[in-house]
Amino acid sequence: MSEKVVLTGIKPTGMPHLGNYVGALKPLIEQSKTQKTFMFIADLHALNTIHDAAQIKQHTYEIAALMVALGLDLNNAILFRQSDISEIYHLNTLLTNVTPKGLMNRAHSYKAAMDKNIAIGADVDAGINMGLYTYPILMTADILLYNSDIVPVGADQKQHVEFARDIAGYFNKIYGDTFKMPEPIIGTETGLIPGLDGRKMSKSYDNIIPLFAPEKDLKKKIMRIITDSKLPEDKKDPDESTIYQLYKHFATDAEIAEFAEMFRRGGMGYGTAKTILFEKINSVLAEPRAKYEYLMSNTAEIEAILADGAKRAGAVARETLGRVKKAMLG
């Protein structure tokens, strides 16, 4: 096993979609078989947008159940809830003192929120809470608390990991070598998964297929994939088809080659192609979906997994915070 520590957080804001699965979750789960992985549900990061405890709790269970159902290796991976580790609040507070305000001003997410206000003629900071403004400090605390080497994130989070490096650097310069420099790893495939309309699968385009939709809903969604108007007998280019693009991520190499050939040969209508796609995705997801549903109706089991994760993560967190306090406070 590699000595490198992989860490990532997932915000509990709702059911991930197939694009998240293929681009981010599946590779993370693969990685968890060979690398020491910290995987947490970033409930504190959801607080700046979700002001409803029941909803955060429910979404937290969903993400935890989903990761376990998909086969996260709990021997190598420590799965925990961010807010369960009290050291995170301490480190967050301590790091504010070495974080330049100007760095926060440059955060893409904060700037985007300000731009929206400017566009509608509102006060620049209207509706922006400090949770949003200091979001990158909390994320830095996550990354540094667990001595992370590698942080796999989506492209939208790259700047945050760079901020973590900046802040670690400022800290080390003042107090001596205390933190490792984390490396962001940007999911390359995420952008390539098409949604129902052929554009990138994204909540903001309303074109997603939820990962664990009930079978009936999964089928309905897949049947709604937009296609061109070619007739069944027409020859088709698989690379131009959303159906084939999705199929590729769930089938074996031999199945993929055969499906591509069926497109090229002509004689397969889009209805048939969608049915083949549905059956493939459904067969891959049926077992994890059943496990997910089981866990969601037995949340005490999820709590037990998270409690075990908190114990293991807490031990690392205590050690790091001890070092930081000693460096800053003597």
The DSSP code for 82 is G
Q: Does the protein bind ligand TRP through residue 313 (CB under 6 A)?
A: no
Residues 6+ away with beta carbon under 8 Å from 249: 18, 22, 193
Total chain residues near ligand TRP (CB under 6 A)? 12
For ligand TRP, the binding residue among 9, 238, 288, 309 (CB under 6 A) is: 9
Residues in the chain: 330
Question: In the bound complex, which residue of the shown chain has the CB atom lying closest to ligand TRP?
Answer: 9
**What strands, in cross-sheet order, belong to the sheet with 77-81?**
77-81, 35-41, 2-10, 150-153, 183-186
* Best CA proximity match to 313, nearest among 5, 29, 67, 105: 5
State the Cα–Cα distance between residues 199 and 207, nearest whole angstrom. 8
Residues 11-40 that bind ligand TRP (CB under 6 A): 11
From residue 165, give the alpha-carbon distance in Å to each of 73, 93, 99. 28, 17, 11
What is the per-residue binding string for ligand TRP in 80-119, x denoting contact by CB under 6 A?
----------------------------------------
The token duo for 246 is 């999705």
Q: Which is nearer to ligand TRP, 211 or 218 (CB)?
A: 211
The residue among 142 and 149 lying less far from ligand TRP, judged by its C-beta, is: 142
Instruction: Name the residue nearer to ligand TRP (CB basis): 139 or 295.
Output: 139
> Which value, to the nearest 10 degrees, does the dihedral of the CA atoms of residues 263, 266, 271, 274 take?
-10
Nearer to ligand TRP among residue 151 and residue 276 (C-beta): 151
Pick the closer one to ligand TRP by CB: 71 or 154: 154
- Binding of ligand TRP by 280 (CB under 6 A): no
Shortest distance in whole angstroms from residue 243 CB to ligand TRP: 29
Query: Measuring CA to CA, which residue among 277, 245, 285 is closest to residue 21?
Result: 285
Beta partners for residue 2, in sequence order: 35
Instruction: Note whether 167 binds ligand TRP by CB under 6 A.
Output: no
Q: Does 157 bind ligand TRP (CB under 6 A)?
A: yes
78 binds ligand TRP (CB under 6 A): no
Interactions with ligand TRP, residue window 199-238 (CB under 6 A): none
For 252-283, the DSSP string reads -HHHHHHHHHHHHHS---HHHHHHHHHHHHHH
Q: Which is nearer to ligand TRP, 163 or 259 (CB)?
A: 163
Q: What does the per-residue mask of binding to ligand TRP show for 125-154, with x meaning CB under 6 A?
A: --------------x--xx-------x-x-
* Chain residues that interact with ligand TRP, rule: CB under 6 A: 7-9, 11, 42, 45, 139, 142-143, 151, 153, 157
